[in-house]
Amino acid sequence: MSVAPALALASGYTVRAGGVIVDRPPRPEVIADLGTARQLAQARDYQAALPMYLMLAASDPDDAEMAIEVARVLGFADRNAESAALYRRVVAQAPQRRAELLPSLAWQTAWAGDAAQAEPLFLEVAQASIYDEPVRAEAWRGAAESRQNLGRLTESLEAYDRALALNPADRNIARKRAQMLLWTDRHAESIAAYQALAAADPADRLTQLGLAQALNFAGRHRQALAIWREIDAPGSPEEKREVARGLRWAGFEDLAHDTLQGVDLADAAWLRNWRTARETGRSGWAAYEWARDRDSLVIDAFTLGGLVRPQRGHTLEVAWRRASISEPAASLNADRLSAAYGWRLGDPYTRWGTLWPSLSLSANRYAGWS
């Protein structure tokens, strides 16, 4: 047999021998090949299994069971759009199977990136009494994720509430709800939700990561950093980015800069190159200010300055400023030379906190006195 019908089936074109898809047992002559395909699928060798599955399905396009099995394997292989298209065809041609296949169709549609099409499918499952509560709870979760991907965060939170009401013991749903509370700027509620989850299972690393992020976004950076340290974060690039944000917001730009080293994420690279880098190296600046008043008072001011870091956590800043002031009756120049030395006592994890003392000296000279 040509592979063209199989490829047509996978890409969304109907391949028919006539009639509609009907339920029937597999024919004896294809059982051996089907067994091999199933063995390959069970071994997760989908690349080898799928051509066989597609050939078997194309040999009898009226076989609903084969089409459903192929759709499942396509889903396992992350070919979600093809899987959803095949489920959709079976549902259209065998409507008596709709209730059975609708949850799978909804998830494959969502995983294919079509949140707008997936949401009504999830809602149909979530609101149907024929499904048990865990299935309906998962459907509400799917609706929540679809709404989230569509940018409707408040509605997403409402769907998570519905999901958790149906299955209060589902920690995954509870974590996602806590995260959505954070993303809708309900920081205190998010922290409380994560703390309740952490109290029930202190070893749940995902919960601890979520709690740290919620604390960080609520301005409680040192508490967040303490949690990250306790669970040996950062591990992944995403965790390194979040820990670096916490360090930066807590005032430790140099430690944040080190944490971002080698993190291959676009936003992390931007943060390191354009934010923490300028707070960890030498710098210089110049400024010009001027004012012109109605009473003919004229002020021009120039400033030159520079900053060096003698060692980690220490800064030396020197600046010179000249202001020229004039009016019709008189004029004068004023100079200021200033220096400031600052240093850090403590680290992000010191129990008594961190001190940033500084010493500033300046000399001023005006016309006739200094």
Residue 42 buriedness (CB in 10 A; 0-12 / 13-18 / 19+): exposed
pLDDT at 328: 87
Provide the angle, in degrees to the nearest 10, between the axes of the packed helices 80-93 and 4-11.
90
pLDDT tens digits for range 211-230: 999 999 999 999 999 999 99
Report whether pLDDT(363) > 70: yes
- Inform me whether the pLDDT recorded for 370 exceeds 60: no
Q: How many residues appear in the chain?
A: 370
Q: What is the pLDDT of residues 101-158, one digit of tens each?
A: 999 999 999 999 999 999 999 999 999 999 999 999 999 999 999 999 999 999 999 9
User: How far apart are the C-alpha atoms of 20 and 23, rounded to whole Å?
Assistant: 10
Band (pLDDT 50/70/90 cuts) for residue 367 is confident
Lowest mean per-residue pLDDT among 21-30, 32-41, 88-97? 21-30
pLDDT tens digits, 62-72: 899 999 999 99
Mean pLDDT computed over 7-11: 37
Cα-to-chain-centroid distance, residue 317: 38
* Alpha carbons 312 and 268: distance in angstroms, whole number: 22
**Position 15 confidence tier, pLDDT thresholds 50, 70, 90:** very low
Pairwise CA distance, residues 110 & 76, whole Å: 14
pLDDT at 21 over 90: no
- Per-residue pLDDT at 294: 84
Give 332's DSSP letter. E
Lowest model confidence (mean pLDDT) among 15-19, 204-208, 329-333: 15-19
Residue 9: pLDDT over 50 = no
> In whole angstroms, what is the distance from residue 156 CA to residue 154 CA?
5
How many CB atoms are closer than 10 A to CB 85? Answer: 21
CB proximity list for 35: less than 8 A, separation 6 or greater: none
Banded pLDDT at 25 (limits 50, 70, 90): low
Per-residue pLDDT of 231-286, as tens digits, reads 999 899 999 999 999 999 999 999 999 999 999 999 999 999 999 999 999 999 99
Count of beta carbons in the 10 Å neighbourhood of residue 101: 18
Average of per-residue pLDDT values in the chain: 91
Please state the domain extents for the chain: 1-113, 283-365
CA 275/CA 344 separation, integer angstroms: 20
Q: For the chain, give the percent of residues with pLDDT over 90.
A: 83
- CATH 3.40.309.10 for domain 1-113, yes or no, is no
Between CA 211 and CA 221 the distance in angstroms is 11
289-301 pLDDT, tens digit each: 999 998 889 999 9
Residue 330, pLDDT score: 87
Is-contact 176 190, C-beta < 8 A? no
pLDDT for the residue numbered 53: 93
Sign of CA dihedral 179, 181, 182, 184: positive
